[in-house]
């Protein structure tokens, strides 16, 4: 692991790091906030997954998570959204390729060589964090925004033994049924629609996946709400499966980090209670 930069913040340390990833075959950059409590004992880990076009820097600079993380003694890990580099496949559109990994393991060319973000987030990055930071690996949780919300929900549903809590800001809950997913899933995974279901939170629940509970915040002023996000589908899926869901429709909020930063402390408080309980 290489240290790119560090800053003192709220009694802890905000850093940016990189490492050579076996999963993606590229150099991957990520941010980690270590709270002051880590000087005394290992701390729980919260992983935040960002949305389309983002890097680690978007939430690090705009998410306003450090005060709450320091208060609760949480290590916050913020990975990139895809592999990057000159030899990494890309697309001219913002919603495919670099910056748009959809937190899946691609099986189709030209994506299969590098786009293995599910394996990276689930397996490789936690091992790197555990080897280099004072983490309590038995206490982990996950949250995300938009495409990252999709990643958080699907990873939690498929790995309930790994994550003690999961929440999301404006997640893509049913990519099979919306334009973003209808473009990305066949490109990354091929035309077998059955393979898409493992990366669709609503489909996973319909197929029997379970998680103890979810928290979702969604802005009513989000311009992606009705076409791309459709939280009512997740609400229905959770209700039919008996999964407790706190879905908060926040009046007037859009899809931006103004929205995320407003409710970030609420989410970290929610995670902290479940990580420490």
Q: Using one digit for the tens of pLDDT, what is the confidence trace for 74-131?
A: 999 999 999 999 999 999 999 999 999 999 999 999 999 999 999 999 999 999 999 9
CATH of residue 241's domain is: 3.40.50.1820
pTM: 0.97
Q: Note down the domain range covering 15.
A: 2-275
Q: Is 255 a catalytic residue?
A: yes
Catalytic-role residue among 80, 105, 200, 222:
222
Q: What is the mean pLDDT of residues 43-61?
A: 98
Distances (CA, A) of 72 to 34, 81, 149, 268: 11, 26, 22, 8
Distances (CA, A) of 52 to 16, 56, 148, 192: 20, 12, 8, 24
Given pLDDT bands bounded at 50, 70 and 90, which one contains residue 175? very high
Q: Is 256 a catalytic residue?
A: no
Tokens for 221?
A: 């002023």
Q: Is 5 a catalytic residue?
A: no
The residues, ordered by sequence, that sit 6+ positions from 197 with a Cβ below 8 Å of its Cβ are 176, 203, 204, 207
Catalytic-role residue among 146, 217, 267, 271:
146
Q: What is the mean pLDDT of residues 29-34?
A: 98
pLDDT score recorded for residue 212: 98
Cβ distance 250 to 217 under 8 Å? yes
Q: What is the mean pLDDT of residues 240-261?
A: 98
Q: How many C-beta atoms lie closer than 10 Å to residue 53's C-beta?
A: 15
Residue 98 is classified by DSSP as T
Cβ distance 153 to 173 under 8 Å? yes
Torsion of CA 196, 197, 200, 201, to 10 degrees: -170
Q: What is the mean pLDDT of residues 58-72?
A: 98
Given pLDDT bands bounded at 50, 70 and 90, which one contains residue 277? confident
**Total number of domains constituting the chain:** 1
Q: Which tens digit of pLDDT belongs to each residue from 210-232? A: 999 999 999 999 999 999 999 99
Q: Is the pLDDT of residue 14 over 80?
A: yes
pLDDT score recorded for residue 23: 98
Catalytic-role residue among 72, 114, 255, 271:
255
């Amino acid at each position: 692991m290489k240290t790119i930069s560090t800053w003192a913040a709220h009694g802890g340390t905000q850093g940016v790091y990189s490492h050579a990833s076996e999963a993606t075959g590229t150099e991957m950059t990520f941010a980690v906030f270590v709270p002051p409590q880590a000087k005394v004992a290992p701390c729980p880990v919260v992983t935040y997954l960002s949305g389309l076009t983002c890097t680690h820097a978007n939430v690090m600079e705009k998410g306003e998570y450090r005060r709450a993380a320091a208060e609760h003694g949480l290590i916050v890990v913020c990975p990139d959204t895809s592999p990057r580099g000159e030899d990494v496949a890309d697309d001219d559109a913002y919603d495919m390729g670099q910056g748009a990994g959809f937190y899946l393991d691609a099986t189709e060319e030209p994506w299969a060589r590098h786009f293995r973000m599910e394996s990276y987030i689930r397996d490789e990055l936690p091992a790197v964090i555990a080897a280099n930071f004072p983490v309590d690996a038995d206490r982990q949780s996950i949250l995300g925004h938009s495409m990252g919300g999709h990643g958080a929900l699907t990873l939690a549903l498929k790995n309930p033994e790994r994550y003690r809590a999961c929440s999301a800001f404006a997640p893509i809950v049913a990519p099979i049924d919306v334009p973003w997913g209808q473009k990305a899933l066949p490109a990354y995974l091929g035309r077998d629609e059955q393979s898409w279901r493992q990366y669709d939170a609503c489909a996973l629940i319909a197929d029997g996946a379970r998680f103890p509970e979810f928290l979702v915040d969604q802005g009513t002023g989000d311009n992606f709400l009705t076409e791309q996000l459709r939280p009512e589908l997740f609400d229905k899926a959770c209700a039919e499966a008996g999964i407790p869901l706190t879905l908060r429709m926040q009046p007037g909020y859009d899809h931006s980090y103004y929205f995320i930063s407003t409710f970030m402390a609420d989410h970290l408080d929610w995670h902290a209670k479940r990580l420490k309980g």
